[in-house]
């Protein structure tokens, strides 16, 4: 009984710690989104406010559901642990008892199924929305180049993970952590190339040296979202051009002065309803991806991983 209570407390403590970590990472992502939108762009600032509110609401609901689920499992464990002192009780044809581990697995599977159903419903509602239209345009652009999207999780590290994936195709083993560390180091050693492009979202003024230092620290120590400035730094670090494919504009090449084979990323403005996002690409275009059903299925699986993990 005492061991069971200890296990429940440990699970609750781990869940609370994970929630704190997820909230911290979300705040870092939100800050990155705010930094990417000019203060005087009222339309994008309004959309940003709505996206941030949606992010926070979804995380709050997710955490509430997980806590309720933990409490439910704890109650079931307490019921299972109540001693029954009945002598010579024989039950014929009694079904096999389900273990606690099996119950937890079934609960997790039920939650995963629920998330997948919610995602599917959201995608049906979004068939005429901006995200779907963007996906269709990108599929056509990539098809012309015999490429297809390689999904990258939306966790604040998407740009760095997309670069990591592209480098892996060139037998380079730099990790996300190494890319973040080198990016921050390069930007700190070339302050004048980056500082003029960073402004305080509250004051509209250019970053102070202290704010710029914190910005670079966040690149290394948090899941802060990476954008064009970080891509510029990475292009110089790797001495490699980086091509950005997008739905509504011609591709952008950063680091055209370098002659190596470009790293290719896909920039999405409406991915997951969470704001801007980067994916990688891979060769071997599959024609079926042009159909909305196939494309939405790929998208849904990626989004379900984001919510469940």
Q: Distance between CA atoms of 67 and 16, rounded to whole angstroms?
A: 9
Distances, alpha carbon 94 to alpha carbons 89, 103, 179, 272, in Å: 12, 18, 58, 47
Rounded distance between C-alpha atoms, residue 174 and residue 283, angstroms? 21
Which of left, alpha, beta for 275 (phi over 0: left; psi -120 to 50: alpha)? left
263: β partners: 242
d(C-alpha 118, C-alpha 123), whole Å? 9
Q: How far apart are CA 21 and CA 54, in angstroms?
A: 19
The answer to whether 252 and 265 are in contact (CB under 8 A) is: no
- Which active-site residues does the annotation give? 155, 158, 277
Summarize pLDDT for 51-110 with one digit per residue, the tens. 888 888 888 898 888 888 888 877 776 665 555 444 444 455 566 778 888 888 888 888
Reported as a single tens digit per residue, the pLDDT across 15-25 is 888 888 888 88
Identify the architecture of domain 130-283 in CATH.
Answer: Alpha-Beta Complex (3.90)
User: Would you state the pLDDT for residue 295?
Assistant: 44
Best CA proximity match to 279, nearest among 289, 269, 296, 266? 266
- Parallel, antiparallel, or unpaired for β 263-268 and 252-254? unpaired
Query: What is the predicted pLDDT for the residue at 128?
Result: 56
DSSP 240-270: --EEEE-SSS--EEE-TT--SPPEEEEEESS
The pLDDT of residue 248 is above 70: yes
- Give all strands (DSSP E) within the chain, no chain letters: 147-150, 242-245, 252-254, 263-268, 277-283
Q: What is the pLDDT of residues 180-238, one digit of tens each?
A: 999 999 999 999 999 999 999 889 899 999 999 999 999 999 999 999 999 999 999 99
Least confident of 27-31, 136-140, 273-277: 273-277
The pTM score is 0.53
Cα separation values, 183 from 85, 187, 194, 215, 302, Å = 66, 6, 12, 11, 27
State the sign of the Cα–Cα–Cα–Cα dihedral 249, 255, 257, 262: negative
Q: Are 193 and 237 in contact (CB under 8 A)?
A: no
CA distance 177 to 163: 12
Residue range 215-226, pLDDT digits in tens:
999 999 999 999
Residues 33 and 47 sit within 8 Å (Cβ to Cβ): no
Largest CA distance in the chain: 86
User: If you average pLDDT over residues 138-157, what whole number do you get?
Assistant: 91
What's the sign of the alpha-carbon dihedral 61, 297, 280, 256? negative
């Amino acid at each position: 009984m005492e061991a069971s209570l200890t296990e429940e407390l440990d699970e609750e403590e781990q869940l609370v710690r994970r929630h704190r970590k997820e909230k911290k990472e979300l705040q870092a992502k939100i800050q990155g989104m705010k930094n990417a939108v000019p203060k005087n762009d009222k339309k994008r600032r309004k959309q940003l406010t709505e996206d941030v509110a949606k992010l926070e609401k979804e995380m709050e609901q997710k955490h509430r559901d997980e806590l309720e689920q933990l409490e439910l499992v704890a109650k079931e464990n307490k019921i299972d642990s109540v001693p029954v002192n009945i002598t010579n009780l024989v039950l014929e044809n009694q079904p096999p008892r389900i273990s606690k581990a099996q119950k937890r697995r079934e609960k997790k599977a039920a939650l995963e199924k629920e998330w997948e159903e919610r995602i599917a419903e959201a995608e049906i509602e979004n068939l005429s929305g901006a995200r779907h239209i963007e996906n269709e345009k990108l599929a056509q652009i990539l098809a012309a180049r015999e490429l297809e999207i390689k999904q990258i999780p939306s966790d604040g590290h998407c740009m760095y993970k997309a670069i990591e994936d592209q480098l892996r195709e060139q037998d380079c083993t730099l990790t996300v952590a190494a890319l973040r560390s080198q990016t921050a180091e390069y930007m700190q050693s070339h302050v004048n190339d980056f500082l003029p492009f960073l402004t305080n979202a509250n004051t509209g003024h250019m970053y102070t040296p202290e704010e710029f230092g914190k910005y670079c620290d966040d690149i290394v120590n948090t899941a802060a979202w990476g954008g064009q400035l970080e891509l510029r730094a990475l292009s110089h670090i790797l001495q490699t051009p980086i091509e950005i494919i997008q739905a509504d504009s011609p591709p952008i090449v950063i680091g055209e002065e370098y002659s190596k084979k470009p790293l290719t990323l896909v920039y999405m403005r409406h991915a997951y309803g969470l704001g801007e996002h980067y994916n990688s690409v891979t060769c071997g275009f599959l024609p079926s991806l042009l159909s909305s059903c196939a494309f939405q299925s790929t998208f849904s699986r990626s989004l379900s991983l984001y919510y469940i993990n």
